Amino acid sequence: MISLGVWSPKGGVGKTTLALNLAAAAYQRGRRVLLCDMDPQQSAVDVFNDKQLPFTVLKGQPAIVPRADLIIYDLPPRTDVEIIGDGILVPMRASILDIRAVNKSIRHIIKKPIIKCVNAVDVRRQDERLLAMRLYSEGALLIKDRSIYSRAISMGKTVFNTDVYGASEARTEVNRLLDAIDKVLGRQPDE
Ligand SMILES: Nc1ncnc2c1ncn2[C@@H]1O[C@H](COP(=O)(O)OP(=O)(O)OP(=O)(O)O)[C@@H](O)[C@H]1O
Ligand SMILES: [Mg+2]
């Protein structure tokens, strides 16, 4: 079993969106996946309560060790919480202020692999494109600004629900992100 914390010092950068979609991508690959919503806002639990997700979202941590291949923790955007997980996915926007805040705060995450993800990149904006490309060249993963992510979540779904149409590019980029996370965490690729 491996676990992934999704954490950022910044709010509203896509932690919950990425946690839900990564869980869905892993589920689609046949893995037993559990999403633990560690944020008092309980946004992931709210989505789960719409009963459209094929995997379970728990409030907080499970009381007993779960039968899961992958546990994802959706963590709150605070520096005073325990940043749990074998590895930490750190989403950020393609903004210089986000990059600085992330670089400062991740110094406190010791001895854990960190995967940076520039989320919601607006490729029509040259400043965002340039920043995102710089971070990509330094090893960050990129997820584009796509309305399908918010549309799916507004229906209680992810881009992997089969009745969410026009999501193939989003699925591809989330799958790429999951592949990168697997690699960093040392998991063998799926068949
Ligand atoms: N790749 C994306 N493209 C377009 N919109 C996105 C993308 N990722 C997230 N969003 C939107 O950005 C907003 C914030 O996303 P989300 O709630 O996942 O962030 P968060 O980091 O979990 O926020 P919080 O810090 O409040 O928990 C939502 O409206 C979501 O639909
Ligand atoms: Mg959230």
9 lines ligand 1 (CB under 6 A): no
Query: Is pLDDT of 189 > 80?
Result: no
Per-residue pLDDT, averaged over 61-83, amounts to: 95
Distance 12 CA to ligand 2 centre (A): 7
Over the stretch 42-59, which tens digit does the pLDDT of each residue have? 999 999 999 999 999 999
With a threshold of 0.95, does the pTM exceed it?
yes
Task: Name all domains of the chain by residue range, CATH numbers in brackets.
Answer: 2-184 (3.40.50.300)
Q: How confident is the model at residue 108 (pLDDT cuts 50, 70, 90)?
A: confident
Nearest by Cα to 57 from 177, 186, 158, 148: 158
Per-residue pLDDT, averaged over 106-121, amounts to: 94
Q: Name the residue with the closest Cα to ligand 1, atom 10.
A: 14
Query: Is pLDDT of 191 > 70?
Result: no
Rg value, the chain, Cα: 15
Query: Is pLDDT of 174 > 70?
Result: yes
Quote the pLDDT of residue 133.
97
Quote the pLDDT of residue 187.
80
Per-residue pLDDT, averaged over 87-96, amounts to: 97
Distance 72 CA to ligand 2 centre (A): 13
Looking at residue 187, the DSSP 8-state letter turns out to be P
Pair type for strands 70-74 and 33-37: parallel
Query: Is pLDDT of 109 > 90?
Result: no
Per-residue pLDDT, averaged over 153-180, amounts to: 98
| Sheet bearing 33-37, strands edge to edge | 56-59, 33-37, 70-74, 2-6, 87-92, 114-121, 141-144
Residue 55 to residue 103: CA distance in whole angstroms: 33
Per-residue pLDDT, averaged over 179-187, amounts to: 94
CB distance 94 to 9 below 8 Å: no
Quote the pLDDT of residue 76.
97
40 lines ligand 1 (CB under 6 A): no
